[in-house]
Each structure stands twice: as C-alpha cells, then as structure tokens.
Structure 1
Amino acid sequence: MRTGIATVCLSGTLEEKLRAAAKAGFDGVEIFEADLVTSSLSPEAVRSLADELGLGLDLYQPFRDFDSVPDELYRDNLRRADAKFKLMDRLGIETILVCSNVATASIDDDALRAEQLHGLAELAADHGVKVAYEALAWGTFVNDFEHAWRVVADADHANLGTCLDTFHILSRGWDTEPIERIPGEKIFFVQVADAPKLSMDVLNWSRHYRVFPGEGQFDLPKFLGHVARTGYNGPVSLEVFNDTFRQADVERTAVDAMRSLIWLEERTAKHLAAGTAESGDPAATPTPAQLAAASRAYPMPLTTLPQVAPPSGINFAEVKADPAAAGASELERLLAQLGFESRGEHRTKPVSLWTLGDARIILNRQQARGVAPAISALGFDVENSVTAVARALQLKAVAVPRTSQANEEVLQAVEAPDGTEVFLCQDTLWAEEFGAGLPASATEPPAARIDHINLAQPWQHYDEGVLFYSSVLALSPQPSQEVSSPAGLVRSQVMQTELVGGERAVRLALNLAPWVQADSVRGTVADTFQEHIAIAVPDLIATARACRARKLPFLEIPENYYEDLDARFGLEPQFLATLRELDLLYDRDEQGDFLHFYTATVGSVFFEMIQRIDGYDGFGAPNAPVRHAVQHAAQKSK
C-alpha cells in the first residue's frame, strides 16, 4: 500500500514536515496550500527536496468553492485553477483536490455541477493534471460521497475522478458498502482519519478532533476493505486536523502517523480475510495462510506483521526511585504493610524484587538520581517474546537497550510513548536472579495478582499511547470516559484483553492528566501524574484487616461517601459499617460487586487492593472522584 500524509498533520515548517515524513518512512505527501504559501522555499526547491528525500508529491489541496456557481464566478474560478495547475507543474504534482462547494453562491443544480467540473477537467487535461472531487461533510448541497460520485460520473471526463475521505463519510454515518460500486480507476485519491465519536458540529469536530487510525472509534478497516475491493491502488494518505499534533514534535508525530497506517493495513487484511463486507471482525485472528491470501487478493497490496496473541497476564510492574529521594524507604515499608515479601537483591544490579502471590513488584535504583518513586516499566506475559518484539519494531517502537550478564535472562523490551519500558516475557525465570527468588508455590494468598495498571499520559502523547498499546500488544481500546477531579476533568481510556472464562488477563488504563499538571516532567514532582498498581486478592476485607494490623496508611474516605453509598445501594447495615471502619469503597454492576481500597501516595505511585465478585468487570469508576478529591486534599496538606 502506498502511504501518504498531508503536511497539515504536522507541526513546523514545510521543510521540517517533509524531512519528518521521509524519516518516518512515508512514500509521499499531500502539499497543503497554506504550507506552501507561507514557505520560503520556491516550488522548484520543494520539488527538489522531495526528490532528494525520496518522497512523492501526490496531491495539491485544497481547491475550494469551484462547482455550481454563476457564469461570471465560474470564469474567475477557471482563471484561479489555471494558475494552480501551472504551480503544480512546477511542483511536479499531478492531482489536485477539489472540495464540494460550501459558499452561499452555490446553485443546487447537479447538471450545472457536472458541466462545470467537465470544463475544469478539460483545462486540467491541458496541463496533465487530474482532478479529485470530494464531498465535504458540511458541503452546502453535496455532502455525500455517493452524490459526489454521481456528479463525477455525469461529467464523464478521463481527468475527473473522486476522492474518498473517511472523516467526511463516517462522521455523517453514511453506509460505506456503495463504495464498491465506484470503479477503482475513478477513485483518484483516498484520505483517512480516525476520530472519537462526539456530539458536536461536524465542521468543528473535523477541524480539531481528528486523530490517526487506531486512535479513535471509526471502523476504518471496513472502509478500506471496500476501497480495496474496487481495485483502487493509489495512495492511502492521512489528513488529520488536530490541535495537539500541530504543537507536538514533528518527527515523533510522523512516526505515530506511520504506525497508524501500518496498523490499518494489517487490520484491513484481517477484515478482508474475515470475508464479509458488513460484519467482518477486524479483531479476528485468521490463519497465516488466510491473512497472506487476503493481503495479496487485490491490486492494493496490504503489508502484514508477525502475528501475536494478546498478552496472557501482567508479569511484573517496576517502580524506579532514587534511594536518597523522599519516599524511597517509605515505598518499601508500604509494600511490607500490604503483605508483600522481599525476595532479595538482584545479583548484579541495584534492583530488588517483592512478591505477593503472583503479583511481582520490582524496585529499581539504577540511573535513578533525583527520581521520586514512579512506575518505570511493565512486564507482559506473551507466547513468544522474539516474535512480539519483532512486531513492535515493525510498528516503529524503539527497542530498550539492556545489558545482561552471561548467566542472566535476556529480556526483550520496547519503549512506550510516555517513556514506560514494556517488557515482553515468556516466563518468570528472571526472578531466579534475585536472592530467594520466587516461592516454590504461590500460596500467599494463592489468587493475589496484578489486576490492572493506571498510567498517566502527557497531553501530547495520549492518543499515541492508545495506538501503541492496541497495535503492539493487541489490547482492545474501550470508549473513553471523563472523571472529575479538583484539578479538572481526567480523560481515561481503558485498554484490555477480551473476556475468557469470565476473566480478563490484562487491563491497562491510560489517564490524561489535567492541564494544570501537564507541563511538569513525569515522575519528578510528587503531585504530578499520579499512577497506581491494582492488586486483586480473594478476600479484600481480610486483607484490609491484616494491612491495618501492619499499620498501613489507608486513603481516608469521607463520611459523606458512605451516606451516599447507602442511599444508592441500600447495603446491609453491618456490611456498610465494615466498609466505613476499614475505609473501603464499593461498586456494583450487572454482573457482580467490587470492593477496593487505596494506599497513600509515595512519589507519584500508590497502590489499590481490589476484589472482583461474581464477574464484576469495571474499575469502580463512580468512586474515582472521591479518590481524586482525597488525594488532592492530602497533597495540599503536605
């Protein structure tokens, strides 16, 4: 598949955008008119730079408000177009994007539109240019891709075709199956963007909230599957308007963008392998032979990646801290009060291992000068770590360099967008490198394990994190939620494996820190980017009493919470009294019940102990505002 990106997706100058696109591995770019107009580079210099970088210049855009206008304006529009066609010749670009008219001067007459677009195509042919006509979602009269195609078909000119844009089609909820009725040779260009599903004006939605494929909620594999079936074999190019991307590092954004197209190619091949246009499951796992056949079945080839199953569990969580920093000794005391046991020091590194049943926490003091306790790495159980890392590297992840001695396990890791190191583990043999290692049998208690991890994300990398974990680890993103806190709304995106036998192997929550916190460096300020590790136990009340006996500092829950809890659920009085006594929180869903409590925060890390009863599948979200408020008050009092 030929990959492309519009320069409007990226920050910086036109030269910086071209260099970043080339470095990320794109085949071509769309030149957005404003980027050229404001550039100090001549059209000839832009063409020369693109040639030097190995980039194709695939599209010039946008040309607006051309069609269905009065004769005088039509003649003026042809003059405008002639100037742009001459400019495109200097750039070496063969295709121009013409948007459906959004101006008040537009006349609702399809015959006139077809006639005027035919005249434009005639002029374009004189310059060796092709015209791709696109229906804008907010077009005055043409806002539907089928309508745009009918006009193109009526105009009947070899140099006139249509452009399909996922946002303009999917934001309006149009049925995508009719795409297959458009001849592939008459689709001159395809633009893709994802987006969260929002209830707002479609123009503002488009201008500010588009994201890269895999970071929103549109069914892009289904869309591109329809396109593939037409026989189209041109560029698939990103056109994303996003305020965050236009402020973020240009090279990093380009890499994230390229990762999104690699993800989309693979998901489209899986969709096609599923074999149905309407109900193909993009999350399905076809056999390698089926996937290979689907990737080669159409003129547009689709690259696939090494196939991996979702992780089967969380192997460990690592917290990094300077032993001289405030909270380092408090962290070890906190683990002991939770019931964790120290398994000793690593034989060659300043690292220690703590366990509670199958829950493993590593305390890392390497290269930690000045670092208050913060989550620094996560380990996931995978079937084949070599294959999993190979897939991650093809998805543009960065490998984590790690020095190992001859008698140590070689652990494979890549870096997540927020800097967290992600280890892909096949077993726990690495634990033998620590003092006592792991116990012979996990009976302390037997069902204790890491249930989920909450990671706070810097504002500029939040969407990138969603795509990273869904593409690299095959975790499924859930609809995002917003939780209130004293510092503002916290946006949360859960990434998780599918339910198997009523259990989920991995749950990961990515939280977007409020803007008031977002400018601080992660892990260096105690009240910034609070994150936590949740441990599931079989009997939370017994665990809480044991922790109380060990003098664990609980997060103190206000009495108002319990009065509200009683009003909502009508709990048995003795049970409610136990919750009050132990500062426990409670929730219920259609499956079952949820008990949990929180520790105080050390550095930027705190712990949550939980019990899921009868298949409860949430996170106690109604209790999150209480937790945020109590933590905020505790920090203010320090």
Structure 2
Amino acid sequence: MKTSIATVCLSGTLAQKLHACAAAGFAGVEIFEPDLVAAPESPEEIRALAARLGLTLDLYQPLRDAEGVTEELFADVLRRAEAKFALMRRLGMDLVLCCSNVATATIDDDEVSAGQLRRLGDLAQRYGVRIAYEALAWGRFVDDYRRAWRIVQLADHPAVGVCLDSFHVLSRGHDPADIEEIPGERIFFLQLADAPALEMDVLSWSRHHRLFPGEGDFDLHAFVGHVLRAGYTGPISLEVFNDTFRQTEARQTAVHARRSLRWLEDALAGDPPHRADLSRLTPASAPRGFDFVEIKAEDTSHVEALLQAAGFARRGRHRTKPVTLWSSGDARVILNEQHARDLQPYIAAVGFAVADPAAQTARARELRTPFAYRRTHATEEALVAVTAPDGSEVYWYAASVDEPVWVSEFVDGDPRGGGLVTGIDHVSLTQPWQVIDETVLFYRAVLSLEPAGGTDVASPRGLVQSRVLQTPDRAIRMPLNVAPPIVAERGPGAGLSQHVAFRCRDVVALAREGRARGLDILPIPGNYYDDLAARFGLPDDRIDELRGLDLLYDRDATGEYLHFYASAPGRAFWEFVERRDGYDGYGAMNAPVRLAAQDSAGR
C-alpha cells in the first residue's frame, strides 16, 4: 500500500518535514502550500530533495474558492489557478486539491460549478495537471461528497475527479456506502483523519481536533473499505490538523503517523475484497494478564514497607542486580534501585503475559516500535521490552500456568505468595499531554488493547482527562490519565500520579489487617460518607464500617466495588479493590474525592 502524508501534519520547515516523512517510511507527501511559501528552498530544490529522499510529491493543496462564482470572480480564479499549475510544473507535481467554495460562492447551481470546473480542467491539462475536487464539511453550498461527485460527473472532464476525505464525510454524518457508486478511476485522491466524537462546529473540530487512525471515534476501517471496493488504487494519505502534532518533534510524529496507517492496513488486509498491495502484520493475540509491575527509585524501602503491610511476601533479591521481587497471589511487584540516583518511586515498566512472545516481538518491529535495552547475563532470562510514548517500558513474557521462569532469578526470600491480594486489577498511567493520543494508538496497535470509553474528572488543580484501554475479557485494564498543566508542573508527589490497583479477595479484611500492620490508608472526608448514605441508601452499620476503614464504595446494575488507597513517597500510589458480582467500572464517582483527599494530604 502506498502511503502519503500532508506536510500540515508536522512541525518544522518543509525540508525538515520531508526528512521526517522519509525516515518514518512514507512513500509520498502532500505539499501544503503555506509550507512551500515559507520555505527558503526553490520549488526545484524541494523537488530534488524529495527525489533524493525517495519521496513522491503526490498532491499540491489547496486551490480554494474556485467554483460557484460570478464570471467576474472566475476570471481571477483562472489567474490564480494558472499560477499554481505553473508552480506545480516546477515541483514535478500533477495533482491539485480543489476545495468546495466556502467564501465567495454566490451561485448555488451544479451546472455553473461543473462548467467552471470543466474550464479549470482545460487549463490544468495544458500543464499536465489533474484536479481533485473535494466537498468541505463547511462548504457554502457543496458540503456532501455525493454532490461533489454529481458536479464532477456534469463537468465530464478527464482532468477533473474527486478527492475523498474521511473527516469531511464522517463529521457530517454522511453515509459513506455510496462511495462504492463512484468509479475508482474517478477518485483521484484519498485523505484520512480520525477524530473524537465532539459536539462543536465542524470547522473548529477539523482545524484543531483531528487525529491519526486508531485514536478517535470514526470507523475508518469501514470508510476505507468502501473506497477500496470502488476500485481506488492510489495512495492512502493522512491529512490531520492538530494543535499538538504541529508543536511536537516532527520525526516522532511522523513515526506515530506511519504506525497508524500500518495498523489500519493490517485491518483492511484481513477484510476482503481488498487490494493486493495490502499486507498483514504478524498476528498477536491480546495479553492474557499482567506479568509484573516495576517500581524504580533510589530508595524503595518505603514501598517495601507498604507491600509488607498489605500482605505481600518478599520473594528475594535478584542474583546480579539491586532489584527485589514482592508477590501476593498472581500480583508481582519488582522494586528496582539500579541506575536510579535521585529518583523517587515511579512506575518504570509493566510486564504482560502473552501467548506468543516471538509473534509479539515481530509485530512490534513491523510497527517501528523502539526497543528498550537492559543488560542481561548469560544465565538470565532475556525479556523483550519496548518503550511506550510516555517513556515507560513494556515487557512481555510467555503466559504459563506456573510462575514465569524469571522469578527463579530472585533468591534468599520467602517462597510464599499468598495473602488477600490475588492479582493486578489495573494499572493507571499518567500521560504527558502531548503523547496521550500516541499512547492510545501504541497500546491498540502493538498489544491489541481496545478503547473502553473515557471520562473527565474534576480535581482541585484542574480537569483530569481519563481514557481506558482493556482486553475484551478485562484481564488487562489500563486507564490513561492526562495531568492538568498545574499538576504536571508540581512534579513528583502531585495530586495526580500513576497507580497500581490490586485485586483482593476481601478488601474489608485487608484494610483492617493492613492498618494493624501500619499500612498508611488515605483518609477520606466524612462528607463523602454522608453523601454515600444518601445516594445508595446503605444501612448505617455498613456506612460506619466504610467510614471507619476509609473505604470507598460504588455500585452499578450488576454489582459493587469497594476500594481504598495507600501511598508511599514518590509518584506511585496503590489501590486495593474488590469487585463483587460482575462490577465492571473503576469507581469514577469516587475519583474527585480521592484526588481532593490526596491533594489535602500532600500526596
């Protein structure tokens, strides 16, 4: 599949963007006119640079406000168009994007628009150029791809076809099925963008909130399927206007963008009828569960004390490294003091149990995922790790009935693994604002996790945006939280941190036993319990029990959720949960209370 990307997606100069696109593995680019206008290089130099980098120049854009105008205005359109066509000849380009008129259109007549496109086609032919006509979602008269196609049919010119853009179709709620009625050779170009489902005007939505495939709520799989079944054989290109991508490092964003198309290509290749040039990724099933969580710090003694108070067993110290392992049931926590000078405790890595580690590794390589390196002795298990966009490391190891082999590398400890904690329920990671969308795509593409909704939670220091990824069987649950800027600026120990939630057999008993052993449970304000009694009508003795243990409570249509929080110095804190009768949430109603309590306690 030939891939392309619009230079508007990236930060930097035009030359820097071209280098980034080539390094990421794109075959071609769309040249966004403002990038060329601001470039110090001549069109001929840009053409030569693209050729040296192995990039084709696929589309020049945009030609605006060109149809549906008076004859007087159309004379100026022809003047502007001829200048663009001459420029495109210097660039060696043969396709220009012509957007439906949003500003100067005064004639709502398909015959008039078609006639003007026909005359533009005559002019374009003299320069060896074709015109791809696109219905903008906010076009004054033409905002539907079906009407754009009717106008192209009326124009009846070999140099005039349509450009299809997923945002302009799906943001308006238009049915893309009719795309299959357009002959493939008349679809001159395909542009893709995903987007979150928002209630706002389409122009602002388009200019600031587009995303790469796999990061939003559009069904791009179905959309592109219609285009391919129509017979389209050209490039599949990304046109993503997004404030974040325009101010982050171009090479990283380009790799991120290319990964999104590789993930989409894999889905399309498995859904015939499809093009012969589509290829699959190495199939790898979703993880079967958490293998471990790793906490890194210069001094992990406070975390050790917390785990011991929660009933975890110290399984031993690594044979060759300043690393210890603690476990209870299937929950394993690695405490790593290697190369951790001046670091407060934080979640450095998450390990997953997978069915086929070799397939998982191959898939990660095909998606251009950066691999992490850790020194391993010849007698030790070599665990494969990649680096997630937030900088954390992600490991995978073969799932097995018994404990993984790497556990045997920890010696001189307690072989017990019992306790009231039975496993890891979920791992919540705080994301820098600029990588949250990339992180969602990373876990979807590499580890086959799927989005499961999200929510916004009010904290004393700003709104926390939360997005959840999980496996269908809920063996893996990963809430990803975006810290408000004021929280991020406060650094380690701020009110929003990473946390690990442990699944318990009896969280009430654990709270009692843990407190007796010195477990520092987060105090919850009394007002919360007064509200709890009003909301759920719980008996007084139940409320008194929850209040006495600083337990939080939630209930849905199927079951109940009881949980409490404990902390140690650093950026990681701990949650202990009990799900009863199929409860499937995270106690979202309790999150603002927890955030406020942490803030008050300076945690």
1:514 corresponds to which residue? 484
**SS of equivalent to 2:467:** strand
Q: Deviations over 1:310-351 (max 9, x none)?
A: 10000100000012xxxx321111111111111111001111
Which of 587, 594, 603 is the matching residue for 1:627? Answer: 594
What is the alpha-carbon distance in structure 2 between the residues aligned to residue 236 and residue 483 of structure 1? Answer: 37
Deviation digits for residues 17-45 of structure 1 (CA, Å, limit 9, x no counterpart): 11000000000000001101111111011
Q: 1:431 corresponds to which residue?
A: 407
Query: Shift of the alpha carbon at 1:13?
Result: 0.7
Q: Does 1:192 align with 2:189?
A: no
**2: CA distance between counterparts of 1:213 and 1:626?**
35
Query: In structure 1, what is the Cα distance between the partners aligned to 2:6 and 2:541?
Result: 63
* Separation (CA, whole Å) in 1 of partners of 2:194 and 2:274: 24
Kept in 2: contact 1:136–1:168 (CA 8 A): yes
Which stretch of structure 1 is more off in the superposition, 80-89 or 597-606?
597-606
What is the rounded CA distance, in whole Å, between the counterparts of 2:3 and 2:537 in structure 1? 57
Q: Partner residue of 1:53?
A: 53
1:385 aligns with 2:361: no
Query: Unmatched 5+ residue regions in structure 1?
Result: 273-293
> How many residues are matched?
599
Partner residue, 2:367: 395
Q: Which residue of 2 aligns with 1:284?
A: none
Answer whether contact 2:558 2:581 (CA < 8 A) is retained: yes
Q: How far off its partner does 1:58 sit?
A: 0.4
Find the counterpart in structure 2 of residue 308 from structure 1. 284
Partner letter of residue 453 of structure 1?
Answer: V
CA contact (8 A) 2:507 2:562 kept: yes
Instruction: Let me know the Cα RMSD of the aligned residues.
Output: 1.4
Offset at 1:229?
0.7
Question: Which residue of structure 1 aligns with residue 442 of structure 2?
Answer: 468
Q: C-alpha distance in 1, partners of 2:41/2:454? A: 42
Distance 2:538 2:496 in 1: 34
For 2:37, the equivalent position in structure 1 comes to 37
Give the match for residue 322 of structure 1.
298
Unaligned stretches of 5+ residues in structure 2: none
CA distance in 2 between counterparts of 1:443 and 1:370 reads: 33
Q: Distance in 2 between matches of 1:548 and 1:404?
A: 39
Structure 1 pair 564–359 and aligned structure 2 pair: CA distance change class (3 A)? same
Aligned to 1:182: 182
| Inter-CA distance 84–438: structure 2 relative to 1 (3 Å threshold) | farther
Residue 168 of structure 2 corresponds to 168
Once residues 7 and 74 of structure 1 are traced to their aligned partners in structure 2, the CA distance between those partners, rounded to angstroms, is 29
Q: Tell me the TM-score normalised to structure 1 length.
A: 0.92
Partner of 2:148: 148
Query: 2:137 — aligned with what?
Result: 137
- Residue 439 of structure 1 deviates from its aligned partner by 3.9
Correspondence for 1:341: 313
User: Which digits, 9 at most, give the CA deviation of each residue in 1:170-201, with x for residues without a partner?
Assistant: 10111111011111100000000000000011
Q: Deviations for 1:140-162, whole angstroms, at most 9, x for unmatched residues?
A: 11000111011101111111100
- The Cα shift of 1:629 comes to 0.5
The alignment-based identity, stated in percent, is 55
Counterpart Cα distance in 2 of 1:108 and 1:518? 51
**How far apart are the structure 1 equivalents of 2:207 and 2:538?**
48
Distance apart, 1:519 and its partner CA: 5.0
Trace 1:188-267 onto structure 2 (pairs within 5 A).
Answer: 188-267=188-267
Q: Does 2:469 match 1:495?
A: yes
Shift in Å, 1:583: 0.1
The alpha carbon displacement at 1:489 in A equals 0.5
Q: Matches of residues 565-576 of structure 1 in structure 2 within 5 Å?
A: 565-576=532-543
CA distance in 2, matches of 1:388, 1:57: 35
Q: What amino acid maps onto 1:380 in structure 2? A: F
* Cα gap change, 1:299 to 1:536, in 2 (>3 Å): closer
Query: How far off is 1:67 after superposition?
Result: 0.5
Name the CA distance, whole Å, in 1 between partners of 2:327 and 2:244: 40
1:88-145 deviation line (CA, Å, top 9, x unaligned)? 0001111000000011443100000110001111111111001000000000110001
Contact 1:536/1:611 (8 A) holds in 2: yes
For 2:489 and 2:533, the matched residues in 1 are separated by 39
Aligned equivalents of 2:412, 2:231: Cα separation in 1: 62
For normalisation by structure 2, the TM-score amounts to: 0.97
Distance, in Å, in 2 between the alignment partners of 1:528 and 1:468 is 26
Match of 1:444 among 395, 419, 422: 419
- Counterpart amino acid of residue 10 in structure 2: L
Shift of 1:528: 7.1
Q: For the residues of structure 2 that align with 1:52 and 1:516, how far apart are their CA atoms? A: 45
CA contact (8 A) 1:592 1:613 kept: yes
Could you say which residue in structure 1 is the equivalent of 2:427? 453
Structure 1 distance, partners of 2:389, 2:514, is 35
Residue pair 1:30, 1:60 contacting (<8 A) in 2 also: yes
Partner secondary structure for residue 551 of structure 1: coil
| Deviation (angstroms), 1:505 | 0.6
| Rounded Cα–Cα distance in structure 2 between residues aligned with 1:141 and 1:409 | 64
Name the residue aligned to 1:16.
Answer: 16
Q: Give the letter aligned to residue 359 of structure 2.
A: T
- Tell me the secondary structure at the aligned position of residue 163 of structure 2: strand
